[in-house]
């Protein structure tokens, strides 16, 4: 893994530091870059045994951010900066507070990401907030949701799988309604924070933004 590209999760954290820094120095020797480098090395996205010795070190992280700033200032992507930097920046233009909340959620839940085997960047699976919070969301759905009784039909499309598929059983799933930026892996979630969905609506709600609640989940079909 000589050149591990920055993932959406890492870019969210890096841009949060950049947006928050203001006029502060982001050289390799700055405390902000040192903290970011340490944080990126704690994430389980890339297996430690496959990382090069200089993985996300202060020099590399600082240069990546500086190159992004240079490309942004001349409105031209630098060849050695991942496109993902510009995509996430454009996505959260004028919404830096929202990106900061997502970054804070990643920081807050660091100790919980490894409680269930992490499948890598593929776990993003449509989550704009990245693979880590997608992983944590599903972990909580498995941990707490499986203890909660399911309704008879999907809250969105009203499908009753047992009527259609009979011997295959319900197939319905519990969906956690807490927005990814508000997740807390140390908290146990109760029945009132879940709703019953069919697999298709469940997958669609994971991708739909803004995050829907039970009272407005039918907006998914409009």
**82-120 pLDDT, tens per residue?**
788 999 999 999 999 999 999 999 999 999 887 777 766
Predicted TM-score (pTM) of the model is 0.84
Quick one: pLDDT at residue 77? 57
Quick one: pLDDT at residue 193? 96
What's the mean pLDDT in 207-211? 92
pLDDT band for position 121 (cuts 50, 70, 90): low
Torsion, Cα 48 49 54 57, to 10 degrees, reads 10
The residue whose two tokens read 């297996």 is 47
**124-177 pLDDT, tens per residue?**
778 899 999 999 999 999 999 989 999 999 999 999 988 888 777 788 999 999
pLDDT band for position 184 (cuts 50, 70, 90): very high
Contacts 24+ apart (CB under 8 A), 154-158: 154/196, 154/197, 154/198, 154/201, 155/195, 155/196, 155/197, 155/201, 155/214, 155/217, 156/197, 156/198, 156/201, 156/204, 156/205, 156/217, 156/218, 156/220, 156/221, 157/198, 157/200, 157/201, 157/221
Round the average pLDDT of the chain to a whole number and report it: 89
**55-74 pLDDT, tens per residue?**
999 999 999 998 888 876 55
Judge whether residue 1 has pLDDT over 60.
no
């Amino acid at each position: 893994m000589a050149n591990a590209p920055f993932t959406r999760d890492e870019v969210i954290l890096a841009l949060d530091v950049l947006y928050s820094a203001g006029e502060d120095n982001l050289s390799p020797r700055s405390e902000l870059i040192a903290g970011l480098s340490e944080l990126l090395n704690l994430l389980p996205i890339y297996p430690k045994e496959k990382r090069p010795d200089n993985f996300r070190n202060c020099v590399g992280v600082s240069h990546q951010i500086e190159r992004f700033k240079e490309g942004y200032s001349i409105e031209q992507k630098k060849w050695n900066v991942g496109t993902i930097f510009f995509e996430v920046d454009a996505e959260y233009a004028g919404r830096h507070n929202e990106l900061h909340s997502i970054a804070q959620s990643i920081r807050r839940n660091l100790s919980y990401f490894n409680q269930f085997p992490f499948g890598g960047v593929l776990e993003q699976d449509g989550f704009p907030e990245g693979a880590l919070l997608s992983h944590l969301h599903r972990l909580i759905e498995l941990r707490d949701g499986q203890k909660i009784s399911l309704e008879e039909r999907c809250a969105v499309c009203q499908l009753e799988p047992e009527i259609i598929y009979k011997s295959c059983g319900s197939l319905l799933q519990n969906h956690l309604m807490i927005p990814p930026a508000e997740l807390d892996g140390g908290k146990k979630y109760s029945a009132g924070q879940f709703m019953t969905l069919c697999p298709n609506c469940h997958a669609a709600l994971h991708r739909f933004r803004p995050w829907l609640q039970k009272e407005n989940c039918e907006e998914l079909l409009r």
